[in-house]
Amino acid sequence: MTRDHVDLLPLNTLRVPAMAEHFAEVTMASQLPGLLAHARANHWPLTVLGEGSNVVLGDFLPGLVLAIRSKGITVLDDGDTHVRIQVAAGENWHMFVRWCLQRGYFGLENLALIPGSVGAAPIQNIGAYGVEVGRFVESVQCRLLPSGEQRELNREDCAFGYRDSVFKRELSDVALIVSVIFVLPKIPRPVTTYPSLANYLEAHEIAGPTAQQVFDAVVDIRSNRLPDPEALPNVGSFFKNPVLGEEQFQGLLERFPAMPHYEDPAGHKLPAAWLIEQCGFKQRGGAVRVHAEHALVIINPEQRPAREISALAREITDEVRARFGILLEPEPRRYGIFEQ
């Protein structure tokens, strides 16, 4: 069943005012063939939303917005060393992480407290504190839009990269994810190399942490560093961290010897937060502004429209490019019509 002219402000964590021309909540995957046929018959373009924590919505979204709310967690195989679990796209990511930990299914503890749905997790290959979800994904079950044709992709097909996958490239806005099958180890192997996590564990004198201790540490670090969207609307990191080639990196390091950096398989990764902070954005006021605790997070406490978010994002991009010669790439995806 679809509804007309639905207010999407409560359904995006940046709290920008946005209106869906038509809207439906998908609570069961079996609703999809009917909804997609209805959209095709009416020539409605489609937009898929999870929990709206990584999107910037324009004032008006023409066509049909599908909010994925389907639930269900099924253990497919419970082996001695690994478990295979199929999870419906509309399950909440953090709840699923907790569910796994409670049952002794490990690996996802570093990804605690990432907002959003399970179905969105493969889209940008969510990652935090040294772990990316892609390594635990066995396959992704999809419906192709607008036809509704069913398609299953294995991990290789997903082409996971840093904040990247086939769902942001060839299948961008074409594959609606219905469920994800994860394979998780039952033997814990905590990953504690990420600098702020390692420092936290050391400061709290936790050597050889359990998965639960890693989970607790990640929750504590995140709660202190990243604003809760309920209190200060945001979409997490607004830009990806840039990855530079050797020549550009060495040139910058000569000019800015204190520049923090990490080694990445693709090159030298720089924290975009540092680049933005160096340009002085933390000191600037404004209704839409960067968060005082983390320069990579744009906050929107007054629920201003998307054009004001875009204006600040453009200012940041321009100043970082002028000062460092680096073009920052936005992380959240944009949907709908942005009024000037």
Could you say which residues in the range 296-315 bind ligand EPU, by CB under 6 A?
A: 296
State yes or no: residue 17 binds ligand EPU (CB under 6 A).
Answer: no
Locate 53 and state its tokens.
Answer: 């924590």
Identify the CA nearest to 18 among candidates 43, 38, 47.
47
Which of ligand FAD, ligand EPU, none has residue 55 at its interface (CB below 5 to 8 Å by kind)? ligand FAD
**CA 296 to chain CA centroid, nearest Å:** 14
Locate 339 and state its tokens.
Answer: 């009024």
139, 141, 179, 241: residue in contact with ligand EPU (rule CB under 6 A): 241
Which of ligand EPU, ligand FAD, none has residue 241 at its interface (CB below 5 to 8 Å by kind)? ligand EPU
Is there a catalytic annotation at residue 277?
A: no
State yes or no: residue 111 binds ligand EPU (CB under 6 A).
Answer: no
Q: Which window, 181-189, 229-237, 248-256, 318-326, contacts ligand FAD (CB under 6 A)?
A: 229-237
Is there a catalytic annotation at residue 152?
A: no
Cα–Cα distances in angstroms (integers) from residue 6 to residues 19, 22, 41, 239, 266, in the given order: 6, 7, 21, 29, 42
State yes or no: residue 114 binds ligand FAD (CB under 6 A).
Answer: yes
Q: Where are the beta strands (DSSP E) in the chain?
A: 3-7, 19-26, 46-49, 55-57, 60-68, 73-78, 82-88, 127-128, 131-132, 137-144, 150-154, 175-185, 243-244, 262-264, 267-269, 289-291, 294-299, 333-335
| Residue of 163, 165, 304, 310 with catalytic role | 163
Q: Closest residue to ligand EPU, Cβ-based? A: 236
The pairing of beta strand 131-132 with beta strand 137-144: unpaired
Residues in contact with ligand EPU by CB under 6 A are 128-129, 194, 196, 225-226, 236-237, 240-241, 260, 271, 273-274, 277, 294-296, 331
Residues in contact with ligand FAD by CB under 6 A are 13, 48-55, 68, 89, 114-117, 119-121, 123-124, 126-128, 176-177, 226, 229, 234-236, 333
